């Protein structure tokens, strides 16, 4: 049974979507992100994925106050990422009530830090692997490293990372479908739970991910734009395979 994570991406306090991770191509969907939450809650929301886009780019938790308001209203599972690069911020989010904290850039740049955080916080730590042409991208997808994204996922799995969020940046925000093949490869390569992210647009894609035992899927622009109905997406997560 696949877990569905509707996404709220925050930029300047607003709920937005980027195209292919470009900060020059921003579409504002809700000026007040609480309205998104109210929309999601009408559909019996079970999970929520929040990203501080400004934090991811600049390394600071710029949208903390907005995230705080969202988390305070929660009666669902919530994971948060974007600019979380030290333990102080991890603790701050966990104390706020966040169920899972997502590390990105810091997990790529500082393996020792990642190991320490896994030791201290266990399953509350997830790692986001963002890929451009199968190379790992960092700092809000602005810089690309010479690190193969699949090999990096294997390494994370070996280190004991329970949950990996894998985004194919070329698909993100394009409403043209996701990279199903990469998730099927990953599911065979690693022991970690895989959350698929980036361009999920069609119900059949979610059914395919579910059929292949992918743990989760993040859905954003397809819901905001009306390409997908949230109630239909959530109904797939109830299907027994």
- Identify whether 9 is a catalytic site residue: yes
- Identify whether 204 is a catalytic site residue: no
15 beta partners? 10, 30
Tokens of 150: 């699949």
Distance CA 61, CA 70 (A): 15
In the chain, helix, strand, coil percent, each to 5? Answer: 40, 30, 30
Task: Characterize 3-35 residue by residue with b for buried, 16 or more Cβ atoms within 10 angstroms of its Cβ, and e for exposed.
Answer: bbbbbbbbbeebbbbbebbeeeebeebbeebee
DSSP 8-class letter at 172: T
Determine contact, residues 213/183, Cβ cutoff 8 Å: no
Distance CA 90, CA 182 (A): 29
CA 142 to chain centre: 17
Catalytic entry in 54, 130, 168, 172 = 130
Determine contact, residues 78/71, Cβ cutoff 8 Å: yes
Give CA angle at 88 (191, 131), nearest 5°. 40
Distance CA 223, CA 220 (A): 6
Catalytic entry in 9, 52, 54, 168 = 9
Q: Which residue has the tokens 């790992």?
A: 136
Q: Annotated catalytic sites, by residue?
A: 9, 130
């Amino acid at each position: 049974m696949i877990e569905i994570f509707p996404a709220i991406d925050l930029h300047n306090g607003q709920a937005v979507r980027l195209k292919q991770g470009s900060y020059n191509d921003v579409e504002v969907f809700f000026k007040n992100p609480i309205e998104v939450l109210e929309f999601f809650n009408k559909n019996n929301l079970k999970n929520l994925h929040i990203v501080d886009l400004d934090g991811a780019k600049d390394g600071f938790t710029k949208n903390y106050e907005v995230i705080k308001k969202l988390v305070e209203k929660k009666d669902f599972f919530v994971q948060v990422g974007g600019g979380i690069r030290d333990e102080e911020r991890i603790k701050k989010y966990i104390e706020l009530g966040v169920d899972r904290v997502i590390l990105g850039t810091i997990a790529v740049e500082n393996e020792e830090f990642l190991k320490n955080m896994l030791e201290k916080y266990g399953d509350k730590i997830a790692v986001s692997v963002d890929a451009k042409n199968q190379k790992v991208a960092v700092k809000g997808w602005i810089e690309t490293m010479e690190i193969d994204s699949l090999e990096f996922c294997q390494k994370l799995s070996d280190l004991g990372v329970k949950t990996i969020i894998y985004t194919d940046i070329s698909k993100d925000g394009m409403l043209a479908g996701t990279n199903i093949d990469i998730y099927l490869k990953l599911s065979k390569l690693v022991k970690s739970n895989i959350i698929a992210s980036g361009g999920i647009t069609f119900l059949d894609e979610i059914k395919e991910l579910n059929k292949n035992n992918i743990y989760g899927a993040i859905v954003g622009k397809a819901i905001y734009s009306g390409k997908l109905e949230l109630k239909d997406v959530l109904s797939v997560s109830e299907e027994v395979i």
